[in-house]
Amino acid sequence: MFKRNISLCRPRCPWPNVRPRIGLVPYLASALVRIGETSPEAKEQTYTLIAESFVSSSFLRTLLAGLNDAHEASFSTGPNKKYSPIDGVAETDHFSVLARLALANPGVFMSAVRAATYPVPEEQTLKWILEEWFFHFDGIGDIATKKLHTLALTHLLSINGPSSPPPAYLLNNLQSYLSIWTDVITELADDGDNMDGQAGDYLVNFNSSSTYNPEGKYQENEPPETTRRRVWTLADPIHQINIRDYVTEHLRALVEVCGGIDRFREEWLVNVDKEVVNEFAKLGVF
């Protein structure tokens, strides 16, 4: 799908310096992906063009370099302990770019990562990305950002479509999936009136509130720029997608494509700690 700049992707070529990209640039890249949501053309084509720009400019490779450094720092100890130029909020921002692209279109996301890391095998790259992503998850302080990352990681499970199971390197993280689903669904739980059909996710209920109607103004004298920013914020999938429904839909599809509940339990769920399974089961999501 993407043209590969092999001169940037040779395994022995050192990762580029990520410090100039920390801060504003990841935010702008995330915003660029969101612009694709409003494209009048085919969304996949728009996302592909955006991802191609990330690859051809070396931005995606630079972003992955920072995350790779963070991964090495996370899993090194003792006298050989390594340190990363990004951590905390900066690392969250880096992963948020990946999250926006993965949520928009998992296929485009995978193609972009392959192109940016060519000729390293996809499985090798995605294994450390997922390992670091799940490891970093508890360090995300904002629940809206946690939800974004959860939606993206969940959407990756549908990478092979409705007729084939996802790659094993995704399913091997089932325990981590159940853990983040439990944490985020619990934190977003709305114990209010269930009659509106949006119960279970207060970020969606917030969006549906008449007080914050995204089509109208909050106050008569509200500046147009404030209205525009509010419309942009509330149109975000974070405020549009009910996390409980989303997880239920994707988990049911996953179980089905893996051969049914019995086979799924025997081949994958058996590898998950019983405590993790029991806590997730209490949610009544599946």
Single out the residue of 112, 12, 7 nearest to residue 59, CA to CA: 112
String of DSSP letters for 75-121: T--GGG----S--HHHHHHHHHHHHHHHHH-HHHHHHHHHHHHTTS-
Predicted confidence (pLDDT) per residue in 121-131, tens digit: 999 999 999 99
Average confidence (pLDDT) over 234-248: 94
Determine the pLDDT at residue 157. Answer: 98
Q: What are 66-77's pLDDT values in tens digits?
A: 999 999 999 988
Residue range 258-284: mean pLDDT, rounded:
96
* Rounded CA separation 277/179 (Å): 9
Q: What's at 191, amino acid-wise?
A: D
Percent of the chain with pLDDT over 90: 63
* CA dist list (Å): 8 to 12, 110, 215, 251: 10, 18, 45, 37
How far apart CA 147 and CA 54 sit, in angstroms, is 24
pLDDT recorded at residue 272: 98
- pLDDT at residue 212 tops 90: no
> What's the confidence (pLDDT) of residue 193?
45
Please determine, for residue 108, whether its predicted confidence score (pLDDT) is greater than 70.
Answer: yes
- Give the residue with greater pLDDT, 192 vs 182: 182
Alpha carbons 24 and 157: distance in angstroms, whole number: 30
> Hey, what amino acid is at 169?
Y
Per-residue pLDDT tens digits for 129-182: 999 999 999 999 999 999 999 999 999 999 999 999 999 999 999 999 999 999
pLDDT for 225 equals 82
pLDDT-derived band at 207 (thresholds 50, 70, 90) equals low
- What would the mean pLDDT of 196-221 be, rounded to a whole number? 61
Residue 1: the pLDDT is 57
- Listed range (146-155, 194-203, 208-217, 226-235) with the worst mean pLDDT: 208-217
Judged against a pLDDT cut of 50, whether residue 10 lies above it is answered with no
pLDDT at 84: 85
